A and B are shown apart, each in its own frame.
Chain A
Amino acid sequence: MYEKDGQKYFVVDSHVHYWDGRPENNKNRFGAGFTACFYDYHKNLSPEEYVWTPEKFGAYTEQDLVHDLFEEGYVDKAIFQPTYLSDFYVNGFNTTERDGAVMENNPGKFITNGAWDPRDGEAGLKKLEELHARWNLQGVKLYTAEWRGESRGYKLSDPECVPYLQKCMELGIKNIHVHKGPTIYPLNKDAFDVSDIDYAATMFPELNFIVEHVGLPRLEDFCWIATQESNVYGGLAVAMPFIHTRPRYFAQIIGELLYWVGEDRLTFASDYAIWRPKWLIEKFVDFQIPEDMQAEYGVLTPDIKRKILGLNAAKLYGIEVPEELQIKDVSAETQPVGSSPVPVA
């Protein structure tokens, strides 16, 4: 919970990692390159006093994680999003099991999501059942750019995904987090294109599709599909830290998202340990759309911030929110302008 100027905010950090980025876990140069790439994001967009060394970044501990999220970071509940990358790392980068162990050591603080990969066929479906039985999954994180042997990734519109999405429905795993990366099969297509998510979201209206980093670098494509599909959400990992380095750009992103997607379908995330929630939350609560942009984008009210920081994700995951931290006026649910059937001016 974060409190500022008499306003209280319930905080769900809906995308956190507990990875093993130590050099000895690298299977090959791709693992080293992947961790280095994450580190550059961390270093480029964090305030200086929050920048770690590459060594610490690769090998932070469970104590660091718990401290940074819950002791200094105001987080009430954090959701683990695993990223296996088994072709890059000996023991995987950030697996359900590794996350789940931390969850069990810290009761009440975490939710552990699982993962699946459509290229695993029948065996993968069985593995998903086992993961669900062990960790009581409510969500999965899919990394469509994941390499598997010669394959450089997949799309959610591939027919092999259908049985997995059906299995999720059957098991009650209703939150599908989709994270796009720079590769895909076939490589000649735009790997960041999100139209495959549109396809899956139409086919499975009972499932929620949370598009990680709000489709960046294809914000426009994400906004467009989110206006069409009411079960498509935007996860703000990677978008949040621009609040520090490029606040006017952050205002534009948030303004565009509020216009097209609306305040009820955006969820806060730090992408820990790439960024730490403490400064993101403090800056976000202090943040306002610059005056010269307000005519177009409006302003961020405390209720909009409450929804984004925690209440929207709490709804998706059935997280209990203390009475005093809920929004009093429930009629506050609003339609984004960009989704309205009336032509926009």
Chain B
Amino acid sequence: MSVQVAQHAGVEADVWSALDTVRDPELDESIVDLSFVTEVEVDSDVVSVRLRLPTYFCAPNFAYLMVSDAFDAVTRVASGRMVRIRLEDHFASEEINGGVSSGAGFEGSFPGQAREDLAELRLTFQRKAHTACLERASAQLLTNGWTIESLAQSRLSDLPDTPQRESLLRRRADLGLSIDPAQPMFVDGEGRPVGKPDVASYLRLAKTTRVSIEGNSGICRGLLKTRYGEGTTAGTLSAVTSERTSP
């Protein structure tokens, strides 16, 4: 293996790791785990990444966030190479790919059809993700003998070292909420502690949020499989319009 090829392979592994940190904001899962990434190619000048989604009509705002987050994450590890992220088989592929590569922003990519960028949308879904993680962590603690009262009174340092704790801390960090061990564990999406009388009802709606997000993830995985078959082979539907329904 030449030195150059080895270097490219190293970058390629870094690109995959970087992409693994990009999450579908609606499903709160890695785009790699969701099989949305179909190909990474690295040469001396360019890193190319191909992405796909479960349907032709997946909401363009979430699609934009994923492409733009992938662009930022890959740029950080591309060692000066040009980065090209291509979303394929989507009704707005052209607007999204062009908008992200030119740095036009969401509003600039959809002139006349959007009024602002996507910060508020992202925040809404980061809060939902936090709510679902808080519910998952709490449900496990309640199973292990905790009470509503202990949930309301506990600090982050009281949480046992579990994957649920890690997930919760990550969502807090995403929201800019403190992850200091002395901070209360049971806070809402804006970081306000939820008092003991409200914890049970908060958890009840949080459970519905979790069921909804987990359900959507199942739907999307199923639709992706139906659309592209098993595995991660890209581009089987590169011409959805002509292959699927034209004579």
Contact = CB atoms under 8 A, between A and B. Distances in A.
Interface of A: 21, 23-24, 26, 29-30, 32-37, 39-41, 43-45, 54, 58, 150-152, 181-183, 185-192, 216-220, 223-224, 242, 245-246, 249, 252-253, 256, 259-260, 338, 343-345
Contacts of B124: 190
Contacts of B54: 40
A212 to B, nearest CB: 15
B240 A45 contact: no
B110 A187 contact: yes
A188 B106 contact: yes
A162 B236 CA distance: 45
A82 B121 CA distance: 30
Contacts of B197: 343
Interface of B: 26, 54-61, 91, 106-107, 110, 112-118, 120-121, 124-125, 128, 197, 200-201, 204-205, 207-209, 211-212, 214-216, 218-219, 222-223, 225-227, 240-242, 244-247
A338 to B, nearest CB: 7
B187 to A, nearest CB: 19
B contact patch SS: helix
Contacts of A219: 208, 211-212, 215
Contact of A40 (B125, B209, B212, B227): B227
Contacts of B110: 187
Contact of A39 (B208, B241, B244, B246): B244
B245 A187 contact: no
Contact of B240 (A23, A32, A245, A256): A32
B209 A33 contact: no
Contacts of A190: 59, 61, 121, 124-125
A219 B26 CA distance: 13
Given A21-B245, A189-B121, A253 B215 contact: yes
26 contacts: A23-B245, A26-B245, A32-B240, A32-B242, A32-B245, A36-B56, A37-B56, A43-B226, A150-B112, A150-B113, A182-B58, A182-B60, A183-B59, A183-B60, A185-B113, A186-B113, A186-B116, A187-B61, A216-B212, A216-B219, A217-B212, A242-B215, A249-B215, A249-B218, A253-B215, A344-B200
Given A37-B55, A220-B212, A343-B200, A188 B222 contact: no
A220 B247 contact: no
A58 B245 contact: yes
Of A37, A39, A43, A191, which is in contact with the most chain B CB atoms at under 10 Å from its CB?
A: A37
Contacts of A32: 240-242, 244-246
Of B56, B208, B247, which is in contact with the most chain A CB atoms at under 10 Å from its CB?
A: B208
Contacts of A39: 244-245
B208 A188 contact: no
B56 to A, nearest CB: 4
Of B54, B57, B128, B240, which is in contact with the most chain A CB atoms at under 10 Å from its CB?
A: B57
A36 B215 contact: no
Contacts of B59: 182-183, 190-192
Nearest to A28: B241
B208 A220 contact: yes
Given A43-B226, A188-B120, A35 B245 contact: yes
Nearest to B226: A44
Nearest to B63: A182
Contacts of A224: 205, 208
Nearest to A29: B241
Contacts of B106: 187-188
B204 A217 contact: no
Contacts of B241: 26, 29, 32-33
B205 A220 contact: yes
Contact of A33 (B200, B214, B240): B240
A33 B211 contact: no
Given A187-B60, A219-B215, A220-B209, 11 more contacts: A23-B246, A32-B246, A33-B91, A44-B226, A150-B113, A182-B60, A186-B113, A188-B121, A190-B121, A216-B219, A345-B200
A224 B128 CA distance: 14
Nearest to A185: B113
A255 to B, nearest CB: 9
Contacts of B247: 23-24
B200 A217 contact: no
B142 to A, nearest CB: 12
Contacts of A33: 56-57, 91, 240-241
A113 to B, nearest CB: 23
A264 B223 CA distance: 31
B215 A37 contact: no
A243 B110 CA distance: 38
A256 B211 contact: yes
Contacts of B212: 216-220
A328 to B, nearest CB: 33
A26 B57 CA distance: 16
B91 to A, nearest CB: 6
A36 B120 contact: no
A185 B61 CA distance: 12
A276 to B, nearest CB: 17
Contacts of B222: 44-45, 245
A45 B209 CA distance: 22
